[in-house]
Structure 1
């Protein structure tokens, strides 16, 4: 609520009049955004902005019940059924959840639940993830899937039965000889991140509009009038609740319900828990928040429910939500702010990246003042202007980005960004090749200090040469003081040169020199990756190391030899040939080796005795004895490749405790799943050597 909206000197009637106006404005705004989100699948503002409006209206109505109207959105579930679809009356309403944003909200929820059950003992709670998808009711009659409906307004939804049939993870017949006469399974249809990325790539290739996020993609896919389109969208489903149940006993608790669903063949997310008390709830929340960005799907919080159904029944419902459950939402990953200016940054390969300088905004748990705009074409496509109000997204450790401009809020003084023609660092011309979206500084690393610093930081980074203590700040000083020009110069540093750095003590200098010495023993794959060759990532570098086993052979390789390496295509091959055709780059490689950089001999991948040769494996969960790095090393030593996601090209999935969505995906695709013991047995010939 705006601070200057109400004045202390106002009469009661004047104050009530303003409250009425404010409440009506909030209702209109919430309804407008709810229609865009739930019906049109085209949200106008981030979830956090909508939540703030909703919370303000709830608070206003709680303090002044006389403001509550019959059509207020606080008394209903968001969304209406679309007229293009047949309507379905839910046998049991699909109500929404109240939200909690702070730890105090959860403590208050726990207190209310204990008071409602007249107990001082710690309650047992079941916890599920709050998926960012579309809520669905699946109806099974005598064990056979018969109908699916969206939440709609909570009482009437849209019939999307034929579209749901295209989701392969949803069973069309329950896995039981004694099915209930009627079973309404409540859950979420969602799209995994990898499937979302592939869908948007297809949209780009077809010149079609991209989806804003996986939630909108899932909702838009499910609401297709042609189920053939839905079948091409790779949707998934997780169950988390129950509606109507006929001729069967309800399990005793929410956890028992999920276990029952598993036996019936209904997909259930493995990321769940049963805990006691508010402390258990908050501890699980912190754990999930830490690994949120690593999950294969988007979530925006967790859901707490009193576990025992008998206790849920005693607590009952209030208005639009149950008293026995609450959604604990994560800090907003999207928020609104203003673009103060647009500047450009120069990367290690000369890439010119426009960056929005923003009015500070708290998003994703941190205060954000800068956000990437990727390239000039992206700015034009999104129509981002200086002075605009924009939506900013930050997920995990991902660099914040500007999602969209809020055109309704564009000021008259908003100005368009113009890409500079010369590099702001070295003054060299900025060029853009016809087949690339990114403009680049033409100065190169010898002339452009920004490219030089980027290349050195990449060389010293953890996944490259892993030189502890040599970070951005030190590299900035080393380059500015002209003590280091190339990566080979790092190994020429001594105590005297390091003492020229700001705030460099004797112990710090000794630690850096020790880290440089330790980094000299590396692997050929790390060394190739550290060189910073354009288009050569960590995995490609390992493939090159396994294929050539010698840096001299790689530097002398022709295009045909390079194209024989797995995952190396014409673009990567051209980049490698261009890099090693530059005598300065070859000289730096020679200088690095002369300074003592070395690696163990690599076994080429043409060794037919390697049991995992040509195989792609995915690791998921916690293995009993091997760390993730040890397991990856074992796989690579035996000729295999470790991938981050499961696809049809995956040969095996190695699963440990708490394996999640990757295991589900493997089972959907009928991919062989190995335990740690089975992986070790498969690699036993190499182990015996």
Structure 2
């Protein structure tokens, strides 16, 4: 393949060739620059780089993170060290229009139960690379990238080369972690690119990518030659507060010598939007790139009350600038099979530069989306379908995934082809089933092949080793695919047995003794993962990072969690109960009433049916009975089905899982389904012979409510239920959505209904809001 003309390469061949070139060039860089022992001539080396650049130019979407075009020379260090952030570096939720900005302010008011709008700051959102700077006793001691938000890379030496970053500061707290953006000014970027082009070297796409590449150079001397700048916008760990407000805190950072991009205060949403428009109007005159405006609640005490949700704070949001749009051609539609078997169509576009990047692919979601039908059944794109060969409008705002927003029918040619969604899996040829699931967008097509489908097996393994999951460095999608094809890695447990193939691995292209040693060391380093990471890595449907974190905090140890899952499997609802759940017109309340009344309902021979009238059950309407009759064929058969369902109703251990605030019935179903499958349990046992998940540390163990299971009900008047729940969780409590015998405490406000009655039934302690405030402060 190394001799095959670039214009003859397929995308798969090009990806493999770029991987080989990256490995070869890195090896020769190390030999030439690091050991003064070149194996090839300069001319041969130049040919490798020229070929790499040509392939990247033809396939810009295949450019690798370790592309030789993004680095110069060899690495004087083997790799960056890891830095664990004392305070997570979270991303921000996005707003895209004025309505979103208004909604943000209203949500803050509602959460905090405020009479008026809180003061909110606004500042330009720099399009750069996030970094943190740690100072101890006024000295810069460590700098790190954001990484995955919990763990970044140690780039201290590189950050020291940036003139905007002081090495010593006076008057700062003993521990001060400054956070901000590393960026490159537009003029400096253009000048640097011109010089690279003049020297015949690969140029960068935009200032942000250039800044990221420069900061992640393993040789700080190279970083020092790049025109990097830094703006501060916040902080992480502090030994003492900087001030009482966001505005005053960043002003203090400015007083300590850190440059700011500017910050203003607003009293309401209208003032925020006025600042947004002012920044947008002056955007082109700025020396640097910005892609929006960041809004933050000014009061730090209110920020603390608001807390966080998922991977972002409730007290901040990024209002992005309007998406840039471009016109291109939809050249084809390919199908990707995910780890859960979902078939996702991906549109192949004629490459187009939009929103700062070259876009070649776009997700088309599902067959309804292609037909012009939205998740709610209504039309999208005016009901226009997508056809291969269509001229389409593509947009991309900031880091948002590219999307097709319209089809230009006037440019549709006679050759434009309608797309037929496959009935068979393109990977394993299994039947494709279509299902509508809660939380999903429209009808989802899934391969029924399960783990017998290579695509699902490989995707599950790729998910397992991914950065936000087990985070095994050096083991990416390409390596997983290779090891799967070789038969070395068929399930997660096999990853931890790769040392058995050490000798064979060293004979393969791209692997030497050192690289194999590094890979095996990375695997060994993940033998004791965090509980939440391990659970998320298993790839159970609907168990994302947030839900995995909720579960880890709830059960604290893997052993306790497995015990609970085994109990929940035994208590899961049977088929008769699930059939009752599917009846149209029978909601949760009616179903509960029917199950409770089941023993009193008469059978087919009973006199209740003499008049043909349905039994009188409180909470069950005539419409519900009609739905039951339609579903089961007759009133008598409906009553028989209800009786059968009552015998197969979910037990307390199953319900307890579904009641966990932040889990819910859908995720609980998928958890139980996973642990009910023998092949899953067996695979997990094999994995746990090599991996031991660490216990989840308890939060705020000194609080009076730590470890308690609490239910909030009724209307809280001095705070909101959302804030009360967030406060309880921050104090180490477990919040449940309903009352059971395992509940420790119920906080009841005015209007408390059935949950209060359940608390009395189970003898659970009940307190009012004032008592809760006293208990939690």
Q: Report the TM-score, using the length of structure 2 for normalisation.
A: 0.40
Q: Report the TM-score, using the length of structure 1 for normalisation.
A: 0.45
